[in-house]
Chain A
């Protein structure tokens, strides 16, 4: 376990509000700088971004439309990360959930919505959890690295979705879209194409409340934190870290699956191959920026949802490429976990850090030889 967790050192983020805000601001400035240097009018972009994200009721709707799936996934991602498991398979889990929900919805298309919709959402949740439990099981029972396996599960889900869209659930109306499925009956949709509805907001609120309770009021939440910070100690205390591992993989997958189901029963109505390709990684970034706190996750998801809305709006007003958003998100990921001030700023602190590091290295070796 030595390399996996330095003893006693877990998710030791400095949980302060300053760093995430500073990191996001820095990345925004850098991105705007790049846009400016490559010839786009900076003022126009800033105005456009504000207009497209919070400038009007429609803009707010767009912001919420993207914040909702991000929030749902990021809450689950946060739980897995907090237990010390690096599950990066949210994208695949979301696809699995979307496929499952859609399949149920289309199979029972003549059924009553009040039964079919909850059933479909539950199927989405279950399939997402199952998709996540594959790497979870391999990690906790066999020790197979979850980063590789969950990435591989993403690729498999992408191909599965592609097959669904050209194969069994292909839209046979031939509406020109090459790889898309049939539409769900309008009666099943829990929101219109805008992606915002009281039902969806209700689901989000319930989920946030549930995670808050999990965090601060349940034994499981306490154990998740302990396992994430020191799995060896947890074992000695009688907490089975493999059990907690399966739990968090399951929860992470369930929320991602729910997000997929919500996407397809909400704004999308049908599935296209490779929809929302960066959603999984974006949710990881949202969770990191929020440092896994449920309420902070709401704020972070709203912000990144606003960015997404802005970037989708900007090409309309001044041809700014959509890929600029990925660049910006990537930059946030680059800086967000920075935990040391540059040596130039704190030369005095460095010596201390080195000495402390040496002391820690010793503990590591001690732990190794037991």
Chain B
């Protein structure tokens, strides 16, 4: 049981961190389909730096630096150059996937997975007894818990958070209040870049300690789904991410338990189907209550 919970948390962590990133962006009025790309770039940069320097701190710092640069590019394109948010987000994901795959070959000579000599610290690996499974969790899982609290506090209890939310829900009102909307969007995207760097590092340096092409397997898109599923609210988004973690852990577990009864592919479909159902039900409930559909897209296409 404890093992299973630990697996859930492990599986949830990268999605969770990226979903917080997506939530900040969405609150600021930016639909972030680039989460997938930022996770991949974070994962690759962290692994490559860890290999080159042997330092976990430098690995994280490099991943953050690259993601901040990519987030800045994203912001420039959608604000200064008025490109379509969703296309740029998809483009970012595609570019990052291609660029890391390319760099893998150029830097390491082949497209095979590269192992990292070091991994993320596990702050509770000294625990024994029933709490021992906690010892498997990387420091970033605990960071995700703390960051969720921070997200809640910053959104619900600070004026900066209110301003950020106004940028998403009514940009005209935000401008009328003197809020520099674009700058708030930049801040949200940079914060998101940071969080996705952590998500990437968790993916490549926590459990398997290696990077391979396609490592993210769509976790960024799941994180985006978690943002909408959680109603763009800090607590809801965290719960949605934990649910995805649970579903993934259950998928792994069920492969062991009843492989012959149900093909693993169908178990792995569960989180996607549940997301579709949950998003539809939310939309239906909102419609019944006479609210506008929960479509938070500012479409300029």
Contact = CB atoms under 8 A, between A and B. Distances in A.
Interface of A: 1-6, 9-11, 13, 34, 38-39, 81, 84, 86, 88, 134, 138, 142-145, 147-149, 151-153, 155-156, 159-160, 162-163, 166-167, 278, 281, 284, 288, 319, 321-340, 342-343, 361-362, 364-365
B95 interface: yes
Nearest to A334: B91
Interface stretch (B50-58, B82-90, B184-192, B201-209): B82-90
A143 B299 CA distance: 15
Nearest to B285: A142
10 contacts: A3-B299, A11-B301, A147-B33, A159-B268, A159-B269, A160-B265, A160-B269, A288-B87, A323-B99, A334-B77
Contact of A361 (B172, B221, B279): B172
A38 B80 contact: no
A9 B266 CA distance: 42
Given A142-B283, A151-B221, A84 B102 contact: no
Contact of B299 (A5, A319, A333, A335): A5
B120 interface: no
A325 B80 CA distance: 27
A159 B265 contact: yes
B83 A335 contact: yes
Nearest to A138: B280
B276 A149 contact: yes
B90 A152 contact: no
Contacts of A86: 86, 297, 299, 301
A91 to B, nearest CB: 11
Interface in B251-301: 263, 265-266, 268-269, 272-273, 275-276, 279-280, 282-284, 286-287, 292-301
Contact of A337 (B87, B280, B283): B87
Contact of B265 (A149, A163, A323, A336): A163
Contacts of B101: 321-323, 326-327
A337 B84 contact: yes
Given A328-B98, A339-B83, 19 more contacts: A1-B292, A3-B292, A3-B297, A4-B297, A138-B276, A145-B283, A145-B293, A148-B224, A149-B276, A152-B225, A155-B218, A156-B273, A323-B99, A326-B95, A327-B94, A330-B94, A334-B92, A336-B87, A337-B83
SS of B interface (majority): helix
Contacts of B300: 6, 9, 339
B287 A143 contact: yes
Contacts of A361: 171-172, 175
Nearest to A163: B265
B241 to A, nearest CB: 14
A166 B264 CA distance: 11
Nearest to B82: A340
B99 A327 contact: yes
Contact of A323 (B91, B92, B213, B298): B213
Given A148-B225, A149-B276, A324-B98, A339 B91 contact: no
Contacts of B100: 323
A5 B299 CA distance: 6
B275 A152 contact: yes
Contacts of A13: 301
A152 B272 contact: yes
A364 B175 CA distance: 14
B166 interface: no
Contact of B88 (A3, A10, A334, A365): A334
A319 B110 CA distance: 10
B263 A167 contact: yes
B266 to A, nearest CB: 7
A12 B227 CA distance: 28
B143 interface: no
A38 B272 CA distance: 39
Contact of B102 (A145, A327, A365): A327
A362 B93 CA distance: 34
B95 A330 contact: yes
Contacts of A334: 73, 77, 83, 88, 91-92, 95
Contacts of A153: 272, 276
Contacts of A336: 83, 87, 91
